């Protein structure tokens, strides 16, 4: 458990006045509030740390204890015991630190020094913190509707990933975030899908593009070509005199359309003509003969 | 027929420790939806999350109604721009090797 410099968290020096603490907290809260930083995965954590720093420094009693024991916070238990004894002998009541401040779960450092784990002063219900996570998929994984089991805070959750999900797309699992406060609803889990590029296929929206090699003779004379698609092999007729870079569209052989069962994009095939190598003497002679015919 | 869950505005105000007048002004400024049934006002469950977000901005950051409205508008713009960036990034990936 590391020491936390609350003054540093607020960008202040140790002797900061109450007014300076308040001002620094407000300024940083407006900058770090999770609702204002929806894409920052660390926003909740940063805001929590800021609240924790403010909770300690804006409370004279907590600040005194923090300033007194600071880096030697491990000894604060003895301090606490001595203080409790003093209270009992004087028969005076005392405010319990735990659960008397704003914020969710504070750091272990905070709990160790002030007791409790943080909470809200009122009995108001608050939605739990949302969690964000990233899930890596291959293009082939994204092609079919499939199920995956995720481990969320030690709990196995089986989710169905619909075919056609896009790179960067986010899905929300309601109630799989942090537990709510005072009986409030649980937060949600947001999963961002990261789909890796495929070596063979390139995806553009719902369309797929693929480069297919054909030999010179098929390109010149026409013939059949067997093409691998994501839904299996298909046989294509190659027209005679097909040029290098010719593009053919296969309707509805592309990527599935997200949440539209049975709908697919198109597959575009670009032909790359392979020029024969290691020609035999006979082949060379025949090519020369062909060349002489065209010149 | 689709049914919608409604949350009594009074219950929401107590639960979130917020003044009814603020909820009313959010509604009057077109920021949230409120349904009236038998002289009682309700917040539809579908807009609960958004309403809670506005309350957080108001309570946590002490932003007034006008400020909440501006922040909401800018956040919506930011969201649209991020979606546009994502779309362009995906198109760019197509041309990358």
Pairing of strands B6-8, A146-152: unpaired
Confirm if A71 and A6 have CB atoms less than 8 A apart: no
Confirm if A66 and A6 have CB atoms less than 8 A apart: yes
Instruction: Find the helix or strand (DSSP H, E) in which A115 lies.
Output: none
pLDDT digit string, tens, across residues A259-281: 999 999 999 999 999 999 999 99
B92 touches chain A (CB under 8 A): no
At residue A79 the predicted structure's pLDDT band, cuts being 50, 70 and 90, is low
Does residue A233 sit in helix, strand or coil? strand
The pLDDT of residue A136 is 93
Whether A80 has a pLDDT exceeding 70, the answer reads no
- The whole-model pTM stands at 0.61
DSSP A199: S
Q: How far apart are the first and last CA of chain B?
A: 50
Q: Pick A35's closest partner by Cβ from B53, B62, B82.
A: B53
Nearest to A207 by CA among A248, A236, A160, A171: A248
Q: CA A144 to CA A80: how far, in whole Å?
A: 60
The pLDDT of residue A115 is 67
pLDDT digit string, tens, across residues A163-186: 999 999 999 888 888 887 667 778
Taking contacts as CB-CB distances below 8 angstroms, the residues of chain B near A33 are 56-57, 60-61
- Per-residue CA distances from B44 to A57, A100, B2, B16 (Å): 40, 32, 13, 16
Nearest to B11 by CA among B39, B34, B42: B42
Q: Which of A26, A102, A130, A168 to mutate to test the interface with B (most CBs of B within 10 A)?
A: A168
pLDDT digit string, tens, across residues B53-97: 999 899 888 899 999 999 999 999 998 998 899 889 888 888 876
The pLDDT of residue A152 is 78
Nearest to A201 by CA among A250, A236, A273, A160: A250
Q: Which residue has the higher pLDDT, B23 or A128?
A: B23
At residue A93 the predicted structure's pLDDT band, cuts being 50, 70 and 90, is very low
String of DSSP letters for A228-259: EETTEEEEEEEPTTPPTT-EEEETT-SPBPTT
Taking contacts as CB-CB distances below 8 angstroms, the residues of chain A near B16 are 124-125
User: Which residue reads 């504070």 in tokens?
Assistant: A106
At residue A42 the predicted structure's pLDDT band, cuts being 50, 70 and 90, is confident
pLDDT digit string, tens, across residues B29-56: 899 989 998 889 999 988 888 999 999 8
Q: Which of A127-131, A138-142, A160-164, A228-232 has the lowest mean pLDDT?
A: A127-131
The pLDDT of residue A184 is 73
Tokens, residue A13: 């020096």
Residue A211 φ/ψ, nearest 5 degrees: -105, 130
Whether A212 has a pLDDT exceeding 70, the answer reads yes
String of DSSP letters for B47-82: GHHHHHHHHHHHHHH---HHHHHHHHHHHHHHHHHH
The pLDDT of residue A83 is 57
Taking contacts as CB-CB distances below 8 angstroms, the residues of chain B near A54 are none
Q: Pick A122's closest partner by Cβ from B17, B86, B94.
A: B17
Nearest to A245 by CA among A216, A270, A219: A270
The ipTM value here is 0.77
Interchain contact, B94 vs A204, CB within 8 Å? yes
Q: Which residue has the higher pLDDT, A232 or A95?
A: A232
A61 CB contacts (<8 Å, ≥6 apart)?
A: none
Whether A102 has a pLDDT exceeding 50, the answer reads no
Confirm if A222 and A238 have CB atoms less than 8 A apart: yes
Tokens, residue B70: 């501006």
């Amino acid at each position: 458990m590391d020491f936390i410099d609350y003054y540093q968290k607020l960008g202040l020096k140790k002797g900061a006045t109450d007014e300076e603490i308040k001002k620094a907290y407000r300024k940083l809260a407006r900058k770090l509030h999770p609702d204002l930083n929806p894409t920052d995965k660390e926003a909740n954590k940063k805001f929590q740390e800021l609240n924790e720093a403010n909770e300690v420094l804006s409370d004279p009693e907590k600040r005194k204890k923090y300033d007194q024991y600071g880096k030697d916070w491990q000894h604060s238990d003895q301090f606490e015991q001595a203080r409790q004894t003093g209270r009992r002998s004087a028969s005076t009541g005392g405010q319990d630190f735990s659960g008397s401040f704003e914020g969710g779960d504070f750091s272990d450092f905070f709990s160790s020094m002030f007791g409790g784990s943080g909470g809200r002063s009122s009995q108001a219900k608050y939605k739990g913190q949302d969690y964000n996570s990233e899930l890596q998929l291959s293009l082939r994984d994204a092609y079919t509707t499939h199920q995956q089991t995720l481990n969320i805070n030690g709990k196995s959750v089986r989710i169905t990933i619909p075919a056609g999900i896009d790179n960067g797309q986010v899905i929300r699992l309601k109630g799989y975030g942090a537990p709510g406060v005072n009986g409030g609803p649980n937060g949600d889990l947001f999963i961002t899908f990261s789909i890796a590029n495929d070596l063979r296929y390139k995806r553009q929206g719902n369309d797929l593009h693929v480069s297919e090699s054909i030999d010179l003779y098929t390109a010149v004379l026409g013939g059949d070509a067997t093409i691998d698609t994501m839904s299996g092999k298909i046989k294509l007729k190659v027209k005679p005199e097909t040029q290098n870079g010719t593009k053919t569209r296969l309707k509805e052989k592309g990527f599935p359309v997200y949440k539209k069962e049975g709908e697919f994009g198109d597959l575009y095939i670009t032909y790359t003509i392979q020029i024969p190598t290691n020609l035999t003497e006979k082949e060379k002679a025949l090519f020369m003969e062909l060349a002489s015919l065209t010149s | 027929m689709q049914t919608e869950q409604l949350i009594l505005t009074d219950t929401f105000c107590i639960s979130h420790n917020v003044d009814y007048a603020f909820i009313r002004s959010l509604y009057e400024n077109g920021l949230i939806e409120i349904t009236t049934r038998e002289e009682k006002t309700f917040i539809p469950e579908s807009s609960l999350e958004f309403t809670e977000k506005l309350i957080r901005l108001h309570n946590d950051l002490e932003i007034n109604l006008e400020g909440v409205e501006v922040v909401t508008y800018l956040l919506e713009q930011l969201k649209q721009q991020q979606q546009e960036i994502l779309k362009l990034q995906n198109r760019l990936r197509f041309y990358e090797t």
